[in-house]
Amino acid sequence: MRNISNTQLHLSVSTPDYDRNRLKSKIVHLGFGAFHRAHQALFTDELARKSDSDWGICEINLFGGEALIQSLRQQEHQFTVAEKGAQSTDVKVIGSVTESLHPALNGIGSILEKMAEPQVAIVSMTITEKGYCADPATGTLDAENPLVVADLENPQQPKSALGYIVQALKLRRERNIAPFTVMSCDNIQENGHVARTAILEYARLLDTELAQWIEDHVTFPCTMVDRIVPAATEETLHEIAQLLGVEDPCGIACEPFRQWVIEDNFVAGRPDWNIAGAEFVPDVVPYEEMKLRMLNGSHSFLAYLGYLGGYAHISDTMTDNGYRQAALDMMLKAQAPSLNMPEGTDLEGYAKLLIDRYSNPNLKHKTWQIAMDGSQKIPQRLGGSLRYHLARGTDFSWIAAGIAGWMRYIAGVDEQGNDIEVKDPMATSLRAICDEHGLNVSVVPALLSIEAIFTADIGKNPQVLEAVSAAYQSLIDNGARATVRKLSGDKQ
């Protein structure tokens, strides 16, 4: 898509039908990654197509990605999103990006000056959990993080996203320019609160008066984002080039489904993203819990038990009636009852929609990829619903099977004796426990005793120990497919 006219693109490609010159850089976004391209940038593009919106985005990569930014510039800041459905693929050229910056290409000062410009109303982020420099155990700022240490020593030349935001807000305060909203779009529970805590704690270490001004005047809305966007591969980019008619190194493929729930708490105005399908609400937390438990929880269930069962992709598991039914039952019988949703929320419809999304064979979402970092994911995805059932004495066998699947997976060897590459921050200590016990049910209490993953009310609960041990023993004796089939009631 380099310096070409739209006439060179295939006729089926949807291109911006609005005057891109009307867009202003009112949003500065940190983290020009795959998800952002297929989500926030796409919503902003669709808003411009459906209204006279002048909201444009200045993209910034703080770490790496210089080549991506240079490619984006060569394409006049346009890029492709291929929405791959089960039957067809829609190709869209996104035009909502107005400019781009990178510290290695433009210098730190240029980025700070951009963030301090009066028209910038929102600084948004997809910087991954580690970008917030928070201690995972406490949720508070990790003051010993090397980026934080460096920024406190030299705040005018920041390295971290926190350092850039606080320094830009300092410039705005000194220049009597109104502050911007800080909006996290990372897949982190209560992401706005995480951002607020980290930024305020960093600011207090730097300048207590500035910190108080930020606390009084800056808002940090929480958001819930959902769209499956696999990492771009050479195969993906080749396919996009075939669909588009030209190469696009910035292109990305994703599923057709998208969801964005946003806390309506903006200090300097906001785009009407609801015109493009976003939902503004007073409280995002119930929607986060719905996604974490029903989508992410069942995803983890399918990842561990699917991988062990020999299924490379989530869509492969959906070709097995046992897995398909067990995943649906887990959502509706184990996870949905534990939720407290606004009146009228159709959880059964949501569960069926998730099964349809999982069944899309064109996404190639790997079970191994979803299985990563289980020690960090299991508490959020399964812990809350498990406590709900323990308090009521109700059935949690699907959750127990998911935990047992994780325990069997982290042993590092599959059912055929092949090595599993286990990616997890705790991989070394987890593997040591598994090696000590071997493929024996005695490993279950040992793993349940890790309080960083299983708090005592779960890890030391006799019902949990019994249910997870039974599921683990079934995996050893019968294998993952038979275990899931029995769980689903499939008698094949």
Write the single-letter amino acid at 268.
A
Asked if residue 331 and residue 253 are part of one domain, the reply reads no
Asked if residue 360 and residue 267 are part of one domain, the reply reads no
**Residues 6+ positions from 261 with CB-CB distance below 8 Å:** 223, 224, 278, 279, 281, 284, 287
**Residues 6+ positions from 172 with CB-CB distance below 8 Å:** 116, 178, 179, 180
Asked if residue 315 and residue 199 are part of one domain, the reply reads no
Residue 141 pairs in a beta bridge with: 134
Q: Which of 38, 31, 46, 29 lies closest to 96, judged by CA?
A: 46
- pLDDT bin (cut points 50, 70, 90) of residue 376 is confident
Answer whether residue 30 is part of any domain. Answer: yes
Answer whether residue 1 is part of any domain. Answer: no
Question: Where is the domain boundary, 260, 281, 302?
Answer: 281
Asked if residue 329 and residue 200 are part of one domain, the reply reads no
Asked if residue 328 and residue 269 are part of one domain, the reply reads no
- Sheet architecture: strand order including 252-254: 89-94, 79-84, 252-254
Cα gap 449→446, rounded to integer Å: 5
Q: Which of 60, 159, 56 lies closest to 101, judged by CA?
A: 60
The CATH number of residue 203's host domain is 3.40.50.720
Asked if residue 446 and residue 390 are part of one domain, the reply reads yes
Residue with tokens 């008066």: 209
- pLDDT tens digit sequence for 68-84: 999 999 999 999 999 99
Cα gap 167→3, rounded to integer Å: 36
Question: Where is the domain boundary, 225, 257, 281?
Answer: 281
pLDDT over 90 percentage in the chain:
91
pLDDT at position 230 is: 84
**Global pTM?**
0.89
pLDDT at position 492 is: 52
Answer whether residue 475 is part of any domain. Answer: yes
Question: Where is the domain boundary, 281, 314, 338?
Answer: 281
- pLDDT tens digit sequence for 324-348: 999 999 999 999 999 999 999 999 9
Residue 492: Cβ within 10 Å count: 9
Task: Indicate the range of 2-6, 356-360, 455-459 predicted with least confidence.
Answer: 2-6
- Rg of the chain over Cα atoms, rounded to whole angstroms, equals 24
Q: Contact at 8 Å (CB) between 236 and 23?
A: no
pLDDT at position 72 is: 97
- pLDDT tens digit sequence for 106-139: 999 999 999 999 999 999 999 998 999 998 778 8
Q: Report the mean per-residue pLDDT for the chain.
A: 95
348-368 as b/e: b if 16+ CB within 10 A: eebbeebeebbbbebbbbbbb
Answer whether residue 277 is part of any domain. Answer: yes
Q: Which of 193, 213, 194 lies closest to 203, judged by CA?
A: 213
pLDDT at position 11 is: 80
Asked if residue 334 and residue 192 are part of one domain, the reply reads no
- pLDDT tens digit sequence for 193-204: 999 999 999 999
Residue 1 has pLDDT above 60, yes or no: no
Asked if residue 321 and residue 270 are part of one domain, the reply reads no
Asked if residue 484 and residue 405 are part of one domain, the reply reads yes
pLDDT at position 3 is: 53
What torsion, rounded to 10 degrees, do the Cα atoms 38, 316, 486, 490 define? 100
Cα gap 149→85, rounded to integer Å: 46
Cα gap 229→365, rounded to integer Å: 9
Cα gap 407→441, rounded to integer Å: 10
Residue 102 has pLDDT above 80, yes or no: yes
Cα gap 197→276, rounded to integer Å: 30
Asked if residue 360 and residue 271 are part of one domain, the reply reads no
- Take residue 99 and report the two structure tokens written for it: 């400019």
As a whole number, mean pLDDT of residues 375-390 equals 94
Residue 25 has pLDDT above 70, yes or no: yes
Answer whether residue 421 is part of any domain. Answer: yes
Answer whether residue 394 is part of any domain. Answer: yes
pLDDT at position 407 is: 98
- pLDDT tens digit sequence for 253-312: 999 999 999 999 999 999 999 999 999 999 999 999 999 999 999 999 999 999 999 999
Cα gap 286→179, rounded to integer Å: 29
pLDDT at position 301 is: 98
Alpha-helical runs (H) found in 330-383:
347-358, 367-370, 374-378
Q: Which of 117, 93, 109 lies closest to 26, judged by CA?
A: 117
Taking CA atoms, 242 is separated from 13, 46, 74, 200, 287, in Å, by 11, 24, 20, 47, 37
Write the single-letter amino acid at 336.
A
Asked if residue 201 and residue 333 are part of one domain, the reply reads no
Structural domains in the chain (count): 2
Residue 491 has pLDDT above 60, yes or no: no
Domain that includes residue 16, residue range: 6-281
pLDDT at position 119 is: 98
Answer whether residue 35 is part of any domain. Answer: yes
pLDDT at position 139 is: 83
Dihedral pair phi/psi, residue 30, rounded to 5°: -100, 115
The CATH number of residue 404's host domain is 1.10.1040.10
Asked if residue 116 and residue 96 are part of one domain, the reply reads yes
**Residues 6+ positions from 167 with CB-CB distance below 8 Å:** 112, 155, 156, 158
Report the SS3 class of residue 297: helix
Dihedral pair phi/psi, residue 131, rounded to 5°: -65, -15
Answer whether residue 219 is part of any domain. Answer: yes
